[in-house]
Amino acid sequence: MTCDRWTEKLDAYVDGELPAAEARALDEHLRGCPSCAAQSLRNVQLKRAVHAAGRRFTPDPAFRARIQKAIAAPKPILWSQRWLPVLATATAAVLLIASAFLLTVQHNRRGEQQLIGELVDQHVAILASANPVDVVSTDRHTVKPWFAGKIPFTFNLPELQSSPFVLVGGRVSYLRQSPGAELIFRVRQHQISVFIFQDQAPREAGVNEPVRTALSFQVRTWRHNGLQYFVIGDASPQDLDNLSELIKAAG
Amino acid sequence: MPLFDRLYNFAHWLTQDRHEAEDLVQETYVKALKGFRSFQQGTNFRAWIYQILRNTFLTSRTGLKSTATVPLEPESDQERLPVSNDTPETILLQRSDQQLVKQALSHLPVPYREILLLCEFEEMSYQEISATLAIPMGTVMSRLSRARRTLRDTVQELQQTK
């Protein structure tokens, strides 16, 4: 077995840039090659480290406020040289951000169905998996801390003792390359996935349709405190509503 | 404000200075508006605006200085670097080493720093990086490979001097 064919492709592999057939072949190779598997793991560690280190600088509140103020309430035009550059910048920001917003909305409308579809797929994968969760516990005080450091936010879990719901566990999930939490609950014989992600795009899917069905699964979505919640399952609509209410109350 | 925080973060990484980063972001918005007609609907808006920011940086005094003083190894579309034989211990980039990675990133030459940030933090595809940096796909791959190797080396050096 030679590694020469693969070593130069490991970067593209962990970047998800290899064609599907090659990626499958490399998957196969990694199962039998400790050296390439270790290198691949190191590449993933490096990627994660840079990803985490990359979020370092936040705009000064005064700078942000200046731009936001300009967008929210543009001042009347003062035709003095002193104000012209400020107004030009404000107008530029307004138009640019409006354009970006329109593009985003347009894109989101197209992608909305796809986004819910992705989450339903993840939920179905959980149903089919022999090891559906990374942290197995019915104790919310175990599950919540497990996510610390794995996702860039925290959240509250509801008290379930007087409810028919049982917490099965959780795992890290990804939506549009952003990490989030997937919590698995059981009610009778049904499993329900609750996905929680950072609410990075305020006009993404879910805003106009908090209740829906996708591929016969019930879906509930809402936003709270900068987080976006998706509750997906094949339990009754009432069960999904009840679980959603419990989570909202905890949040 | 879409992309505002991320553009600022990227600008600060490039300039390493808060005030310069603010100027850079502001100038980027102004230029983007002026050139908005050149943006083609349906193409990648993110790559387009990052390209404006980066080009603005490269023509700034700090940008010119940073690229003029850092000779990169020759890049070839065909060339791929051999995989590093670092032991897992030497590149154990755990959470406790975050500060070290940040430090190493800020030590990297701008072309390496920017491509790593675009790939790992902004999670751009090779195609987007190619459009943003205006370099061929082959160069994206070879530069990424070099940037990662240099980052590993820098982390190791910093670990040894700790």
| Nearest to A238, CA basis, from A177, A182, A190 | A190
Q: Does B141 touch chain A (CB under 8 A)?
A: yes
User: What CATH number has the domain spanning A111-250?
Assistant: 3.30.200.100
More confident residue, B63 or A192: A192
Q: What is the mean pLDDT of residues A101-122?
A: 69
Contact B30 A49 (CB under 8 A): no
Minimal C-alpha gap between B142 and chain A (Å): 10
On the 0-12 / 13-18 / 19+ scale of CB atoms within 10 A, A85 is: exposed
Domain boundaries defined on chain B = 4-68, 95-161
Model confidence at A86: pLDDT above 60:
yes
A2 part of contact set with chain B, CB < 8 Å: no
- Choosing among 1.10.1740.10, 3.40.1500.10, 3.90.550.10, 2.30.30.90, the CATH entry for B4-68 is 1.10.1740.10
Q: What is the CATH number of domain B95-161?
A: 1.10.10.10
| pLDDT score recorded for residue A80 | 54
Q: What is the ipTM of this complex?
A: 0.82
pLDDT averaged over chain B? 81
Q: What share of chain B is helix, strand, coil (3-state, %, to 5)?
A: 70, 0, 30
Q: Between the ranges A76-90, A193-207, B139-153, where is the mean pLDDT highest? A: B139-153
More confident call, B68 vs A57:
A57
The secondary structure of residue A215, as a DSSP letter, is T
Three-class SS of A92-139: HHHHHHHHHHHHHHHHHHHHHHHHHHHHHHHHHHHHHCCCCCCEECCC
pLDDT, tens digit, 9 for 90 and up, residues B107-129:
999 999 999 999 999 999 999 99
Helix (H, G, I), strand (E, B) or coil at B76: coil
What stretch of H or E contains A194?
strand A190-198
Quote the distance between the C-alpha of residue A180 and its chain's center.
5
pLDDT class of B136 with cuts at 50, 70, 90: very high
Q: Would you state the pLDDT for residue A106?
A: 60
CB of A102 within 8 Å of a chain B CB? The answer is no
Selection from A238, A229, A243 nearest residue A165 by Cα: A243
Residues B88, A42: C-beta atoms closer than 8 Å: yes
Q: Is the pLDDT of residue B133 over 90?
A: yes
Q: Can you say how many angstroms the Cα of residue A118 is from the centroid of all Cα atoms in its chain?
A: 11
d(CA B105, CA B88): 20
CA of B54 to nearest chain A CA: how many angstroms apart? 17
Range with the poorest average pLDDT among A27-36, A119-128, A217-226? A119-128
Q: What are the Cα distances from residue B14, in Å, to A63, A75, A116, A251, B66?
A: 18, 32, 36, 38, 9
Average of pLDDT values for A48-67? 85
% of chain A with per-residue pLDDT over 90:
10
B93–chain A Cβ distance below 8 A for any pair:
yes
By the CB < 8 Å criterion, does B135 face chain A?
A: no
Residue A203: pLDDT over 60: no
CA proximity to A152, closest of A198, A115, A112 = A198
Domain map (residue ranges) of chain A: 4-54, 61-102, 111-250
List, edge to edge, every strand of the sheet that includes A217-224: A135-136, A165-175, A178-187, A190-198, A227-233, A217-224, A211-214
For A107, the token pair is: 């894109």
Bridge partners of residue A34, in order along the sequence:
none
- How far, in Å, CA of B59 to CA of A128, rounded? 54
Measured between beta carbons, the chain B residues lying within 8 angstroms of A11 are 141, 144-145, 148
Enumerate residues 6+ apart whose C-beta is below 8 A from B56. B24, B27, B28, B31, B63
Judge whether residue A143 has pLDDT over 50: yes
| Tokens encoding A18 | 């290899």
N-to-C CA span, chain B: 40
Name the band, by pLDDT with cuts 50, 70 and 90, for residue B53. very high
Task: Give the pLDDT confidence score for residue B99 in this predicted structure.
Answer: 84
**Residue B73 pLDDT > 70:** no
A17 pLDDT band, cuts 50/70/90, is very high
Average pLDDT over residues B124-146: 93
Contact B83 A7 (CB under 8 A): yes
Sign of CA dihedral B91, B93, B99, B104: positive
Q: How many CB atoms lie within 10 A of CB A49?
A: 25
Give me the mean pLDDT over the A205-209 stretch.
54
Sequence-ordered strand ranges (E) for chain B:
none
Instruction: Count CB-CB contacts under 10 A for residue B98.
Output: 14
Does A159 touch chain B if contact means CB atoms closer than 8 Å?
no
Q: What is the CA radius of gyration of chain A?
A: 23
Range with the largest mean pLDDT of A13-22, A132-141, B55-64: A13-22
Q: In angstroms, rounded to a whole number, what is the distance separating the alpha carbons of residues B120 and A15?
A: 9
Query: Considering only residues 101 to 120 of chain B, which have any Cβ-Cβ distance to chain A shorter than 8 Å?
Result: 101-102, 105, 116-117, 119-120
- What is the model's pLDDT at position A104? 64
The amino acid sitting at A159 is E
* Model pTM score: 0.53
Binning pLDDT at 50, 70 and 90, where does residue B104 land? very high
| C-alpha distance from B111 to closest chain A C-alpha (Å) | 15
- Residue B10 confidence (pLDDT) above 90: yes
Instruction: For residue range A229-247, list pLDDT tens digits in order.
Output: 999 988 888 899 999 999 8
